[in-house]
Chain A
Amino acid sequence: MRVRIGRLLAAFFFLLAPPIAHSETSAKAEPCFACHGPNGNSAVPQFPSLAGQTARYIYLQLRDFQEGRRNDPVMQPLAKALSRDDMLELAAFFAAQKLQPNSFKADPERAARGKAKADETLCTMCHLGNFAGQNEIPRVAGQQYDYVVKQLRDFKSRTRTNDAGNMTSVARTLSDRDIEDLAHYTASLF
């Protein structure tokens, strides 16, 4: 854990440091790899994978962190140091990376219940089939289990409210078991 915090702090200071000219966008993205994994493929359950995420979603989340509509003690200061062009570049970079399978072992029975709940809740009307995502609606397929559970709980408890009301409204109807089932299902999608 100490190592991870050290890397986080390194990333933090890297971004606060005076701008360094980079010819490649990937150089700008490298500090993000500390938590979000190589090319945005997270190996840490609490941090989301960014690889293959929609560019529009990544950009809007960075902007919400920067402007205080989404709260996270690590991401907010990091986002504050980014310019609009930085955010657009990072978003485009991660959107273009290939998402690798995550290591979470989804329980097939729970994943099946999660799918039924997803069908009932009409998740794919916005997230599209197999939770592929579109524009400002994120891809959730193959996302980290712990991260998805936390986001749904945060929407339900309204500790995350930067969704313009869509997810807080949906999450109101989900039980804790529903949330876990859904996360089993989305983690199993690829």
Chain B
Amino acid sequence: MNRNALALASMTLLFFTAVQTRAQETGKAATTGSAVPKQVNVSQEQLVKAGGDTRNWLHTQGNYAQTRYYPGGQINASNVAKLHPAFVFQTEVVESMETAPIVVDGVMYLTTSYNHVYAIDAATGKEYWHYKHRMGPITTFCCGPNNRGVAVSGGKLFMGTLDAKLVALDALTGKQLWETQIADPEKGYSETMAPTVVENKVLIGTNGGEYGIRGFLKAYDANSGQLLWTFYTIPETGHEGVWAENDATGRNMHRDIAKEKGAFAESKGAFYDKLGGGVWMNPAIDLKERTAWFVVGNPSPDLYGDIRPGDNLYTDSIVAVNLDTGAYKCHFQYIAHDVWDLDAVSPVILATAKGKNGKNIPVAMHGGKTGHVYIHDRRDCSLVRYSEAMIPQENMWVLPTADGARMLPGANGGVEWSPMSFDAKSRLAIALNLHQPMTYHVEQVNYPGGKLWLGGAFKVIPSEKQWGRVAAVNVDTGKVAWKYDTEQPLIGGGLATAGGLYFFGEGNGNFNALDSRSGKKLWSFNCGAGANAQPVSYQVRGKQYIAMGCGGNTQLDFKRGNSLFVFSLTD
């Protein structure tokens, strides 16, 4: 197929454009409405015990281990058929919704695209206050003006912004307490992730792997906004690594190591400050070992590797750092010298699982864009096992060409940013997958100065069907226990509950509950716009609710909306 025919038959994913925020979104920070009519004060002890808390939803991923598992079972497999909307909250922003609402003692905090925050009554939807971030004149981001939520600690909320700031709000009034510039948005830095707060430290990474940034995880003082430490995901020296020839699963990646070594000697690795490596989902926290666990995104530019010889550490890796200092502890790289953007995004989950000798050990888990769930020994980052592939893999690792080379999975995965859920009783990690056949194209291009820098293109193949798959993986064996296929690729969060349920949404608006042990569909409700946010659960006055944002998704172009649906059982 010649290039033009290919272009005709393809749809590029080059919707990725640097976007200047709409004029109406810039201007003065403003909070309207009234104060929350009760005290809000979340202690560190509450944050630590969130995994067993049925009243509140205090962390984006449910708890510091990030299991996205709700410990209550009032809504369960036997009664979920009676689940109905309790209320619908409409925001004023009709755009991609990825928020995981935080719920504290019956008060819900949710965010929208363009960094709006709402405080509402979590049982009725009554609005208390509405905060709009004062956006700077320059914002640069690839995949939608998204925001995945706030973090809470004490009486404060914390949010990262599209113009690469960290802001602290008074949880009671919505008034801004402080803001600090994390990095320069002009160079492609932006924030869409929710921060993680632990012991008065606010942890946040950065987007920008498509713009030639130098990634990091930073810790800020929750009271003052002062920077406490920075871990750069690209070390100034040593990022060439061990010149790995195979990926984490032992497959050869077709690198020309001799050529790379020559190019590296010539450049002396001086490109470290544009090598990418974003961290754009929450770190998991192991308080006992004083460790923050996270995964690092792709090297820049995505597809053109000649310009960045070496393994490009710590891109495409799981990394552990000291929680108090940010000092490196260990890492494991999945794909060295990635030229497919098949990086590591979905947030790390901490658990206990069988080690190689069959005995239980502390593990860290990650659902990869490759379609594997990886299980690591928390003591040294080593790989204990990887799951069987959850989605089709073909032609791995064919190198991108000017005219395009077909390989599965496509560049979105496998598992994109979608956080997995883990049910310790059933031993199942449940992941949302995409199947999007693509061709990978390379183009030699130098650093374009903060403009989108893919070094080529990913193109979907219109003649090939795309679909999604929920896959449940037994973490002790790596076997897929069940699968549930959907018409469209899946992106967004899932939620497992002690009621034996797994909630997740689809781009067509369906918000579903599956039996979490079998994958059988038990309930569905159509929200009218893409159900691509992150569901959470909580109780108010003894009654369990399930909340899900349905605002569609920019990256996969699912229908936009502005509604948060909250469900409860009919009395």
A residues adjacent to B (C-beta < 8 A): 55-56, 60, 63-64, 67, 69, 88, 120-122, 125-126, 134-137, 161-166, 168-169, 172-173
Contact = CB atoms under 8 A, between A and B. Distances in A.
Interface string B20-52: 100000000000000000000000000000000
A122 B451 contact: no
Contacts of A169: 402, 441, 443, 456-457
A45 to B, nearest CB: 27
B448 A69 contact: yes
Nearest 8 pairs of A and B residues by beta carbon: A165-B445, A164-B448, A165-B443, A56-B20, A164-B451, A169-B443, A136-B18, A135-B17
Contacts of A122: 7-8, 12
B3 A64 contact: no
A161 B446 contact: yes
A125 B12 contact: yes
A182 to B, nearest CB: 14
B454 interface: yes
A162 B50 CA distance: 49
B4 A121 contact: yes
B14 A162 contact: no
A89 to B, nearest CB: 10
Of A64, A125, A161, A165, which is in contact with the most chain B CB atoms at under 10 Å from its CB? Answer: A165
A120 B4 CA distance: 7
Contacts of B4: 120-121, 173
A165 B3 contact: no
Category for how many chain B residues contact A: 20 to 34
B455 interface: yes
Interface string B438-473: 000101111011011111110000000000000000
B2 to A, nearest CB: 9
9 contacts: A60-B451, A64-B449, A88-B137, A120-B8, A163-B448, A164-B454, A168-B445, A169-B443, A169-B457
| Majority SS at the chain B contact face | loop
B19 interface: yes
A169 B452 CA distance: 14
B445 A164 contact: yes
Interface in B68-118: none
A120 B20 CA distance: 28
Contacts of B12: 122, 125
Interface of B: 3-4, 7-8, 11-12, 14-15, 17-20, 137, 304, 402, 441, 443-446, 448-449, 451-457
A166 B448 CA distance: 11
B137 A164 contact: no
Nearest to B6: A173
B301 to A, nearest CB: 8
Contacts of A64: 448-449
Contacts of A168: 443, 445
Contacts of A172: 3
Contacts of B8: 120, 122
Contacts of B441: 169
Nearest to B457: A169
A126 B7 CA distance: 13
Of A136, A161, A168, which is in contact with the most chain B CB atoms at under 10 Å from its CB? Answer: A136
B20 A135 contact: yes
Nearest to A164: B448
Contacts of B455: 165
Of A121, A122, A168, A172, which is in contact with the most chain B CB atoms at under 10 Å from its CB? Answer: A122
Given A120-B7, A121-B7, A122-B7, A162 B449 contact: yes
Given A121-B4, A121-B7, A122-B7, A135 B19 contact: yes
Nearest to B445: A165
Contact of A135 (B7, B18, B443, B445): B18
A121 B12 CA distance: 11
Nearest to B441: A169
A136 B128 CA distance: 38
Given A55-B20, A135-B20, A173-B4, A125 B445 contact: no
Given A60-B451, A88-B137, A121-B7, A166 B14 contact: yes
A106 B17 CA distance: 31
A63 B457 CA distance: 25
A87 to B, nearest CB: 11
A158 B415 CA distance: 37
A88 B21 CA distance: 13
Contacts of B449: 60, 63-64, 67, 69, 162
B453 A164 contact: yes
